[in-house]
Amino acid sequence: MRVYAVRRFVEKPDLATAKTYISSWQYLWNPALFVWRLDTLCALFGKYLPGHTTQFRKLGESCSREAVEACFSALEPISIDYGILEKAEKLLVVPGDFGWTDIGHWRSIAEVVDDLPQAIKNGSLHIAQDSSGNFMHTTSGKLVATIGVHDMILMEAEDAILVCPRDRAQEVKDIVGKLEEKNLKQYV
């Protein structure tokens, strides 16, 4: 295993820069897999995101839902990539060649489980006619019947149902924003 020093971490470069990186073969893609000692990570937060450190300290030992919500609602919304990694020094990287998928939205989950026929079933029955490429997950155990439905996502939670085309799954964040605007945070 070879370990390399990172010269610079660049989160989401513009298209021209990304094309240059890819064509040169001198850069590695970051799949957001990180390993660090807790004391090192805490020191990096203290140096680059001190407001986060203050909020985390306020949270302390309390793991109540209210305390966690208060802590996280007070945080500046910034990814660790922009907030720390683009600024940090002495980063190391270990190149790897392995299967990996960013399970950041429902379309990705569906891609990971595509070997399952039509659905992830949680005690539910699925009957399909002229339907394919769908990803469905239910919690109620109710029968799901589809006719002429292709490449859709159906997700049922205890108090909500999401239905959308697989190629628009990233737009779930827009729905979350609308729920927050309408003061319906209990569905988020």
> Looking up tokens 């793991």, which residue turns up?
63
Write down the pLDDT at residue 48. 96
Average pLDDT on 86-115 reads 70
Q: Cα separation of 104 and 81, whole Å?
A: 15
Give the 3-state secondary structure of residue 16.
helix
Residue 120 pLDDT > 60, yes or no?
no
Q: Which of the residue ranges 35-44, 66-75, 106-115, 157-166 would you say has the lowest mean pLDDT?
A: 106-115
Domain boundaries of the chain, sorted by first residue: 1-99, 106-187
pLDDT band for 16, please (50, 70, 90 cuts). very high
Give the 3-state secondary structure of residue 14.
coil
> Over the stretch 63-89, which tens digit does the pLDDT of each residue have?
777 888 888 888 888 988 899 988 988
> Looking up tokens 């945080």, which residue turns up?
75
> Over the stretch 122-181, which tens digit does the pLDDT of each residue have?
555 778 899 888 888 887 778 888 899 998 888 888 888 889 998 888 888 888 889 888
Whether this prediction's pTM lies above 0.75 is answered by no
Strand partners, 132: 150
Average pLDDT on 99-108 reads 61
Average pLDDT on 115-127 reads 58
Q: Cα separation of 64 and 58, whole Å?
A: 13
> Looking up tokens 């799954």, which residue turns up?
169
Write down the pLDDT at residue 18. 86
Q: Cα separation of 179 and 94, whole Å?
A: 41
Domain covering 1-99, topology: Spore Coat Polysaccharide Biosynthesis Protein SpsA; Chain A (3.90.550)
Q: Output the CA torsion sign for 2, 7, 12, 16.
A: negative
Write down the pLDDT at residue 49. 95
Q: How far lies 136's CA from each of 49, 54, 148, in Å?
A: 39, 41, 15
Q: Which residue has the higher pLDDT, 100 or 26?
A: 26
